[in-house]
Amino acid sequence: MWANPDWRGSLYPPHGGRGDWLADYARVFSAVEGNTTFYSGAPQANTVATWARLAPEGFRFCFKLPQYLTHERRLIDINAELEGFFAALSPLSDRLGPIMIQLPRSFGGDELPALATLLERWPTEIPCAVEVRHSEFFHKGTAESDLNRLLITHGVNRVMLDVRPLFSTLAGNHPGMVQAQAEKPKRPLHVISTGDFPLVRFIGHLDNAVNSDYFGAWVNRLSLWIKQGKTPFLFVHTPDNRQAPELARRLYERVAATVALPPLEPFAGERQNQLL
């Protein structure tokens, strides 16, 4: 999400209150990956109302389906809970980007019928993206073919998790690298657009030279999708996420140099520091 105190002094003013963070974030970036709903479920009505008030019209929230639906219930008999989840987010209906269905690593090809049932009843007005982590979805075999065919049929986007920068070196003694390499699934990158909203999660390294090398091919692919009329979403992480806004800005500028994208606004913290 946007509530990261480590971004004080860069993306956020050094002494600003938390209540301004979403507005400051949305002044620069046009979308956010919402992890809160994955762990905590549907947000409270007053919280959603505040988000709706602070986020500008063109901003997009890309929330994750709660893990109790994906990991505990494994998408089985979740109709009532799903309706409640979407109802809670309804004040943001015009500002919802792809809602992510992040499936557990144990969710394999034999459970695709449950995903198919969910996608058949998914609201057509809400974009959807699916992130799989089971190894058989990365072997270009029957399971992956069935998955891609299912997503294409419903116009659902397959989340592309690019962990190559993160795993390009040993973690060493940096605790953020150690934790990130332990938590992120080490899966091959399969670049495919199965819907109109390609969604890339780029997990960066502490070394910006490594990030630059691995992002090179993404510049051309993202530019191509934009020229094709698609709306790609790029979310950027770093091992401890302290430098994520700066990395996102650098990567955005590389894409903007190839297609007509508006420049990003200066970071609030940097702007304030220049005035001091």
Encode pLDDT of 58-89 as tens digits. 999 999 999 999 999 999 999 999 999 999 99
Q: What is the DSSP letter of 55?
A: S
Per-residue pLDDT, 274: 59
Give strand pairing partners of 263.
none
- Residue 164: name the closest of 215, 198, 103, 129 by CA: 215
Answer yes or no: is pLDDT of 276 > 70. Answer: no
Collapsing DSSP to helix, strand or coil, 131 comes out as strand
Rounded-to-integer distance, Cα 243 and Cα 7, Å: 8
Per-residue pLDDT, 16: 77
Angle between helices 142-154 and 112-120 (to 10 degrees): 0
116 φ, ψ to 5°? -60, -40
Query: How sure is the predictor about 1, in pLDDT bands with cuts at 50, 70 and 90?
Result: confident
Per-residue pLDDT, 270: 85
pTM: 0.95
